[in-house]
Amino acid sequence: MTVMPVAILWYADVVAARESTGESVDQYVKTGMLERHIPGMGLAVIRNGRIDKIGAHGYADLSFDVKVRPTTLFSVASITKSFTAVAVMMLVEAGKLRLDDGIGQYLEGLPPLWRDVPMRRLLNHTSGLPDDTVDQYTANTIADTSEGVLQLLRDRHIDFVPGTASRYNQTNFLLLGRLIEKLSGQSFTQFGAERMFKPFNLQGAAFGDSRMVIRNRATVYTPFRFGTGTPMLLDHAEVLHYENAPFTYPHDGLSISIENFAIWLNALLNSKLISRSSLEEIWTSAKLNDGSIPQRPPATTLWRSYGLGWVVAPDKSHPSAGGKGGMRAAFFVYPNDNIAVIVLTNAQGSGPERFADGIARLYFP
């Protein structure tokens, strides 16, 4: 869901940041939070292989004036896909699977037309599989279990022949989550905790929706009211209630602190989780069967194409790859500049990708 006015206004903020000389990151953040009405934010900058800055700004909860700390958890929504993609690449490097194998080689009971869809097509949203969500505006699914979803989708036609088009699709990561569980012998949450977080002593990262009590998690605020059809834009903010069944956690379930996210991303960039070649494969834009790269039309969004679970922005001077989630969190890695920026907010519609890019450009020569 794209909120055009917010993104357009935020672009002006980025331009102003580029033209301003001597503006500090902290002042840029302070100004941006006030203009965008962001209650709380966690910020991290990674530069030249080390964590250069971690910032905690504003309030995690407005009702009780709880301030954001480096250890405050933020719900990062679809950024979870970026973590899931790394988990898949860990299994690839362990020799458990190959990206060009069909998903049916590893998971049984799938509809015949699904079985030959390569893992690569699931990761980069070129699979053509029918989506398991109710609509494009929320993460609500058509059933409460993965088995129920697969049963309802079994008789639906695929949207297009795999590899001939691109369409964002949550079913892809439902299958990837099941794949991780099948090949690792662990639940998806166990795999994340033990294989991706525990080696770096990351404490507190958790999976769950707004119904779950998760210690130190920031409250999410939204200017939208969701129901049926297009969300209603309000003249005030409300608490966002979001419900995710456990089978959706591989694509929409993670809550993590800015401190832990920065440690994890820095470890990833320093080849502590997967090799540099695997990471660069994640950052490579998807290609269709005819060799073309499907791209989003030029618009207010920064990124133009999908890599493997990550979004890709092929800027000529400063290309980047990363993730965005829930219109409230974003991160980008700028390989040519040896910089990465993470912005986690608790305000839906806050333009986090523009915020992250604006901060990164304060560091560019």
Q: Dig out the tokens for 70 from the structure.
A: 């480096």
CB atoms within 10 A of CB 11: 16
> Considering only 4-18, 307-321, 345-359, which range has the smallest mean pLDDT?
4-18
Task: Tell me the C-alpha distance between 100 and 31, whole Å.
Answer: 47
Residue 94: inside a domain, yes or no? yes
Residue 5: inside a domain, yes or no? no
Residue 302: inside a domain, yes or no? yes
Contact in structure between 107 and 97 (CB atoms under 8 Å)? no
pLDDT digits (tens, 9 = 90+) for 282-305: 999 999 999 999 988 766 668 889
Q: Dig out the tokens for 339 from the structure.
A: 């910089």
What percent of the chain is modeled with pLDDT above 90? 75
Residue 337: inside a domain, yes or no? no
Residue 328: inside a domain, yes or no? no
Evaluate if residue 121 carries a pLDDT over 70.
yes
User: Exposed/middle/buried for 48, CB within 10 Å: 0-12, 13-18, 19+?
Assistant: exposed
Residue 239: inside a domain, yes or no? yes
Return the pLDDT at 226. Answer: 83
Which of 230-249 are b and which e, b meaning 16 or more Cβ less than 10 Å from the residue's Cβ?
ebeeeeebeebebebbbbbb
Residue 9: inside a domain, yes or no? no
Q: How many distinct structural domains can be found in the chain?
A: 1
Residue 295: inside a domain, yes or no? yes
Residue 14 confidence class, pLDDT cut points 50, 70, 90: very low
Q: How far is Cα of residue 228 from the mean position of the Cα atoms in its chain?
A: 25
Average pLDDT for residues 34-52, to the nearest whole number?
A: 96
Range of the domain at 99: 39-60+67-313
Average pLDDT for residues 102-114, to the nearest whole number?
A: 94
Residue 307 sits in a domain of what CATH number?
A: 3.40.710.10
Residue 20 confidence class, pLDDT cut points 50, 70, 90: very low
Return the pLDDT at 23. Answer: 59
pTM of the model: 0.91
Task: Tell me the C-alpha distance between 42 and 350, whole Å.
Answer: 13
pLDDT digits (tens, 9 = 90+) for 154-175: 888 899 999 999 999 999 999 9
